[in-house]
Structure 1
Amino acid sequence: MTGELMAVFETHRPMLVAIAYRMLGSAAEAEDIVQEAWLRWQSAPRDAVRSGRAFLATVVTRLCLDHLKSARANREVYVGPWLPEPVRTDSAVDPETISVAFLVLLESLTPVERAVYLLHEVFGYSHAEVSQMVGKEEAACRQLLHRAREHLQARRPRFAPSKQAHERLVTGFLSACVSGDLEGLKRMLSDDVTAWSDGGGKAFGASTRPVHGADAVARLYIGIVKKAKFGFGAEVLEVNGWPSLVVRLNGTVFDVISLETDGERIHGIRAILNPDKLARI
């Protein structure tokens, strides 16, 4: 029986991790949630389980909702901007719904709005299924979905038309920073560009406040590169669905820089320096 349970669970594990990661913005916490779901799957009465997929997705969703109650309180005292834990990805993922910018936007929803939106819009569950999974009336779930859609649409991140167009800006950004080309870098940035850095109080040099405007952001990054110590290096890798900059110090990942672009200009820069969030890169 244990072998059969494991086989069913492993079949659905990628989906469970995907739900938990988008809900929480943390790969480590998502893995913990999925492990707890495995324990509950093992102990669940078999006659109470009509669908393994539905049961496991419901357990993961409700565990995430419970987890977010405490996580929200912790993030209120977080040092500086909070950004999600970055993860390496491949072409199989939907780049928009796993992007760093979109995961940040999801943080502005209430936990249950986030769950309803993700389950219906990203994972394709029906309104009736979502109602069962979050434990609310279907009419209430429809209203939650409507509010979430309106909120996200008004603030939706910009996305490049292709990964190739996005990567051209990533490599151009890196080249301008390394060469100290201030004017060239400013031309790549939108006038209202904003740069965030997440050090969590554990990374030297991470700003605790966002930096706004093309001139200020360009000077910030060129200044950072000028001060870089021997042993720094950067490469372009796919992170959270898009080409991103992975910066290493003596071979150890020090920073992951995610750019929000429309394929022509850079509108947002999110740098994740908190060492607790870089173990999976």
Structure 2
Amino acid sequence: MSESPVSGGDTATQVFVDHRELLFAIVYNILGTVADTEDVLQETWLSWTGRAHRTPLDGIDNPRAYLVRIAVNHALARRAAITRRRETYVGPWLPEPLLDEPAPDDSADRVLRSESVSLAMLVVLESLTPLERAVFVLNEVFGYAHTEIAEVLDRSPAAVRQLAHRARQHVHARRPLYRAHPRVRQQATERFVEAALGGDIAALMEILAPDVTVWTDSGGMARGAGLRPVHGRDKAARLLAGYATRRTSNLDVRYRRVNGDDSAVVFEGESPYAVMVMDLTPDGDQVSDVYIVTNPEKLAHVRREKETEAKEERA
């Protein structure tokens, strides 16, 4: 992952902008929140420009590695603040959903944003220690070698290998190594949303797995949201049908990709109402987990966009 040195004509701003999408993707996967990620990128920018003011940038052989190191260490420091907020959080806590947006110029930025792992995986990563999570993200998601991660974290390669082994074992024990075909995910998502928003208990009983879990993250700001995850098909179907009876008449569902997976984004008028992400059983026939984010603060960055071509074709 070596890179040519920064030439005297390059500015600190341009170097940072060139790597911003990579930094965003790495930090978001470590933190799971968009707002904190943006704050960390701001801190990274200040550290980077402060370094540029003190000494010439052409003395840095690998600007990308230097920026990643700054960003990851700022992210690890930010984890403590996130942990403190979670201690007083009302109800289940879910990561902030990240909607896949098309890059304006080419596919490079789109590829980097799509490196964010699924919402279900982010939930599993929350159970790792901050260092384990950073190592897992850098190694498993972005392909950094243990020696490179050791330089980023200022740890020995042996210590990084041990952290990676523990993280991998923990994640693989809780997260099966399979991924449903995109068309299967799309069809299951649409079937589920139609049944849930329509209050069709019979259809919900058919598509929900017997041991399904529903996680509803409202932060205590949404009426009727549970304070704990709901386990089991019967309870989950009743909960979802109950939501349908309380729904307003002007909800509009848009099918968008959230954290790389086909999902449903529900709008009330022009405002985001909920993001619904489903995880499927290995055969793809049923929904094993439902993640519903209704906390307005976590949906603040969700914008209503034009219909996608796929949605227009389905209509």
Q: TM-score range by the shorter chain?
A: over 0.9
Shift of 1:92: 3.2
CA contact (8 A) 2:278 2:289 kept: yes
Partners of 2:39 and 2:9 lie apart in 1 by: 20
Which residues in structure 2 correspond to 1:95-174 (within 5 Å)? 97-156=116-175, 160-174=179-193
Distance 1:170 1:152 in 2: 24
Query: 1:159 deviation in Å?
Result: 5.2
Q: Is the 8 A contact 1:96 1:102 kept in 2?
A: no
Higher deviation after alignment, 249-258 or 86-95: 86-95
- Over 3 Å counting, the alpha-carbon distance change for 1:270 and 1:93 in structure 2 is farther
Q: Give the 4+ runs in structure 1 shifted more than 3 A.
A: 90-97, 157-160
Tell me the SS of whatever aligns to 1:98: coil
Provide the C-alpha distance between the structure 2 equivalents of 1:117 and 1:180, rounded to a whole number of angstroms: 40
**2:270 matches 1:251:** yes
Pick aligned residue for 1:5 from 12, 16, 41: 12
Instruction: Judge conservation of contact 1:245–1:256 (CA < 8 Å) in 2.
Output: yes
Give the distance between the partners of 1:19 and 1:250, measured in 2 at CA: 33
Contact 1:261 1:267 (C-alpha < 8 Å) held by counterparts: yes
- Equivalence for 1:29: 36
Worse overlay, 115-124 or 177-186: 177-186
3-state SS, counterpart of residue 78 of structure 1? coil
The higher relative CO (CA closer than 8 Å, separation ≥ 6) is in 1
Among all aligned residue pairs of Structure 1 and Structure 2, give the percentage whose two residues are the same amino acid.
39
User: For the residues of structure 1 that align with 2:197 and 2:96, how far apart are their CA atoms?
Assistant: 26
Amino acid at match of 2:25: A
Give the match's secondary structure for 1:33: helix
Segment of structure 1 superposing worse, 252-261 or 150-159:
150-159
Deviations 1:201-252 (A, max 9, x none): 2222221111111111111111211221222222211111111111122221
What secondary structure sits across from 2:11 in the alignment? helix
- Relative to structure 1, the CA distance from residue 178 to residue 199 in structure 2 (aligned partners, 3 Å threshold; closer, same or farther) is closer
Q: Structure 1 unaligned runs (5+)? A: none
Number of residue pairs aligned between Structure 1 and Structure 2: 281
| SS of aligned partner of 1:190 | strand
**Which segment drifts farther, 107-116 or 212-221?**
212-221
1:50 to 61, 66, 72: 61
What is the RMSD of the two structures over their aligned residues, measured on CA atoms?
1.9
Q: Are 2:96 and 1:85 aligned?
A: yes
Tell me the CA shift for residue 7 of structure 1.
1.8
Aligned to 2:291: 270
Tell me the distance in 1 between the aligned counterparts of 2:206 and 2:178.
Answer: 18
Structure 2: unaligned runs, 5 residues or longer? 1-7, 102-109, 303-315
Residues 208 and 286, structure 2, Cα contact 8 Å, conserved in 1: yes
- Secondary structure of the residue that 2:96 maps to in structure 1? coil
* AA partner of residue 295 (structure 2): N
